[in-house]
């Protein structure tokens, strides 16, 4: 039996380890940090569909449950009552839970060990995050092949596309009005999130690198004391090659992220399941991933489009979303089901077709 080496014990690496070890595979995981789950670089919000992906309970890692999402554009605001709750995870506990499950299933972990080289005869899974070395290796070869054909060279510079996010965990001076409500402020090429952990602790963050800009923004709205700052890299979805010979990538390493919200936990866990099935049943991982990749591509296109939005465009979008049927759709169908949302949207509110056609550059 071939040994399997996993690089990275983030949630996705540990989850692949858990799934493969459960199937009787000999799995070794290498993690450069000495402690699992540290440093935390995540807002930790997931849709309830995470429960359909995992086969063990995550109740012990849920810090708060979200019933409402309030979205602000410059002049408009809308509140969605979610039919299915979102969960605010304690990311450190969550990573540790999956790690422990993997260990119980038989996976062996080497903490504080950064991988710089590896044996060629083993199966190697790169779950090594947005700057994945395995992804670079696979996609370097891909681009070398492509360089032979000058006309097919468009993807060359896309492989390292990344974004940044900054976040502060704050203690608010007064009680948070509704601790079960997330607030989103739509901004040009960015958005700000306010995610309550409890009635007086919240995670406030934004897409971008500028923590000062974030602090100025929240100072206008809240009185708070900073508990800690966090920042991190977000991969962008690009049509990467995810497999070559005995090398595989998954999670952030493969750009498995919903770029509309930059949520990577649920898509990464789904991809981990697909990868495990592909290895166990000797199936083509690229092909098995097709459905998930299609969904992530739609998120990617919407993000590309939203990044061109002016404040006026966001105002129009929020105004359209206020139509009762549209609002109900967003409340009923969770964000991990983008195809269902998009396909129903046009019937309910044909004016969304205008946005859609612009996303796909029809005009
Ligand atoms: C600020 C911020 C907020 C976010 N908020 C959310 C959110 O609210 N909801 C959500 O769903 N997603 C969110 N995300 C995205 C989410 O955090 C990631 O999608 C998720 O962590 C992906 O997990 P992963 O295991 O693929 O990668 P990672 O969590 O990055 O884990 C990769 C691991 O590999 C290790 N590693 C890397 N290279 C090596 C090496 N050579 N040798 C050994 N070990 C190595 C790293 O130390 C790391 O532990 C957020 C991201 C950021 C930055």
Q: Per residue, what are the HEC states of 263-322?
A: ECHHHHHHHHHHHHHHHHCCCCHHHHCHHHHHHHHHHHHHHHHHCCCCHHHHHHHHHHHC
What is the 160 CA–ligand 1 centroid distance (Å)?
16
Q: What's residue 334's pLDDT?
A: 79
Question: Which of the listed residues 134, 252, 273 should we mutate to test ligand 1's pocket, taking the one with most ligand atoms within 8 A of CB?
Answer: 252
What is the 11 CA–ligand 1 centroid distance (Å)?
7
The residues spanned by each domain of the chain are 4-62+89-159+236-299, 162-235, 300-359
Q: Residue 360 is inside which H or E element, if any?
A: none
**Per-residue confidence in pLDDT tens, the chain, 363 aa:** 578 999 999 999 999 999 999 999 999 999 999 999 999 999 999 999 999 999 999 999 999 999 999 999 999 999 999 999 999 999 999 999 999 999 999 999 999 999 999 887 889 999 999 999 999 999 985 555 555 544 444 444 445 578 999 999 999 989 999 999 999 999 888 999 999 999 999 999 999 988 888 888 878 877 889 999 999 999 988 767 999 999 999 999 999 999 999 999 999 999 999 999 999 999 999 999 999 999 999 899 888 888 888 888 899 889 888 988 888 888 888 777 877 787 787 777 777 777 666 655 544
- Residue 90 neighbours by CB distance under 10 Å: 19
What is the 357 CA–ligand 1 centroid distance (Å)?
33
> Helices H, strands E: what count in the chain?
12, 14
Q: What's residue 143's pLDDT?
A: 54
- Nearest residue to 101 (alpha-carbon basis) of 336, 289, 272: 272
For atom 45 of ligand 1, the residue with the nearest CA is: 8
Q: Is the CB of 264 under 6 A from ligand 1?
A: yes
CA–CA distance, 52 with 336 (Å, rounded to integer):
11
Q: Is the CB of 259 under 6 A from ligand 1?
A: no
CATH fold for the domain made of 4-62+89-159+236-299: FAD/NAD(P)-binding domain (3.50.50)
What is the 63 CA–ligand 1 centroid distance (Å)?
19
With a CB cutoff of 8 Å and minimum separation 6, the contacts of 19 are 272, 273, 276
What is the 256 CA–ligand 1 centroid distance (Å)?
11
Token reading at 78: 């809308």
SS3 157: helix
What is the 131 CA–ligand 1 centroid distance (Å)?
10
With a CB cutoff of 8 Å and minimum separation 6, the contacts of 354 are none
Question: Which of the listed residues 5, 7, 8 should we mutate to test ligand 1's pocket, taking the one with most ligand atoms within 8 A of CB?
Answer: 8
Query: β-pairing, 45-47 with 77-89?
Result: antiparallel
What is the 354 CA–ligand 1 centroid distance (Å)?
35
CATH fold for the domain made of 162-235: D-Amino Acid Oxidase; Chain A, domain 2 (3.30.9)
With a CB cutoff of 8 Å and minimum separation 6, the contacts of 188 are 309, 310, 311
Place of tokens 């971008």: 208
- Nearest residue to 199 (alpha-carbon basis) of 173, 227, 230: 173
DSSP type of residue 258: B
CA–CA distance, 270 with 84 (Å, rounded to integer):
19
CA–CA distance, 15 with 21 (Å, rounded to integer):
10
Question: Which of the listed residues 16, 43, 125 should we mutate to test ligand 1's pocket, taking the one with most ligand atoms within 8 A of CB?
Answer: 43
Q: What's residue 351's pLDDT?
A: 73
Q: pTM of the full predicted structure?
A: 0.92
For atom 19 of ligand 1, the residue with the nearest CA is: 264
Q: What's residue 153's pLDDT?
A: 45
Q: Is the CB of 33 under 6 A from ligand 1?
A: yes
What stretches of 11-133 adopt beta strand conformation (E)?
27-31, 45-47, 62-72, 77-89, 108-111, 123-126
Question: Which of the listed residues 19, 34, 63, 262 should we mutate to test ligand 1's pocket, taking the one with most ligand atoms within 8 A of CB?
Answer: 262
What is the 194 CA–ligand 1 centroid distance (Å)?
20
Q: Is the CB of 43 under 6 A from ligand 1?
A: yes
Q: Residue 138 is inside which H or E element, if any?
A: helix 133-147
Place of tokens 């979008």: 317
Q: Is the CB of 37 under 6 A from ligand 1?
A: no
């Amino acid at each position: 039996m071939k040994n399997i080496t996993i690089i990275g014990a983030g949630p996705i690496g540990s989850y692949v380890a858990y799934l493969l070890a459960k199937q009787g595979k000999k799995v070794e995981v290498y993690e450069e940090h000495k402690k699992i789950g540290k440093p935390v670089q995540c807002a930790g919000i997931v849709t309830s569909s995470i429960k359909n992906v995992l086969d063990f309970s995550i109740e012990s890692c849920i810090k708060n449950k979200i019933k409402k999402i309030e979205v602000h554009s410059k002049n408009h605001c809308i509140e969605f009552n979610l039919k299915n709750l979102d969960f605010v995870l304690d990311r450190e506990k969550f990573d540790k839970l999956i790690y422990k499950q993997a260990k119980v299933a038989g996976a062996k972990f080497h903490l504080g060990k950064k991988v710089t080289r590896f044996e060629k005869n083993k199966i190697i899974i790169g779950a090594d995050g947005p700057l994945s070395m395995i992804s670079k290796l696979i996609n370097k070869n891909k681009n070398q092949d492509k360089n032979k054909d000058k006309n097919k060279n468009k993807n060359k510079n896309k492989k390292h596309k990344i974004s940044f996010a900054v976040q502060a965990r704050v203690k608010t001076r007064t009680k948070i009005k509704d601790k079960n409500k997330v607030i989103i402020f739509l901004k040009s090429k960015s958005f700000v999130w306010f995610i309550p952990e409890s009635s007086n602790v919240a995670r406030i963050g934004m897409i971008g690198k500028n923590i000062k800009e974030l602090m100025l923004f929240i100072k206008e709205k809240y009185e708070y004391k900073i508990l800690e700052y966090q920042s991190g890299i977000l991969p962008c979805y690009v049509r990467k090659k995810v497999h070559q010979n005995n090398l595989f990538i998954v999670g952030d390493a493969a750009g498995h992220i919903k770029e509309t919200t930059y949520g990577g936990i649920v898509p990464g866990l789904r991809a981990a399941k697909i990868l495990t099935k592909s290895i166990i049943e000797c199936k083509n991982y690229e092909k098995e991933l097709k459905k998930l990749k299609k969904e992530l591509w739609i998120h990617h296109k919407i993000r590309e489009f939203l990044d061109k939005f002016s404040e006026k465009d966001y105002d129009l979008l929020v105004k359209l979303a206020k139509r009762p049927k549209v609002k109900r759709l967003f409340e009923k169908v969770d964000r991990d089901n983008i195809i269902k949302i998009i396909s129903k949207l046009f019937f309910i509110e044909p004016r969304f077709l205008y946005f859609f056609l612009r996303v796909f550059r029809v005009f």
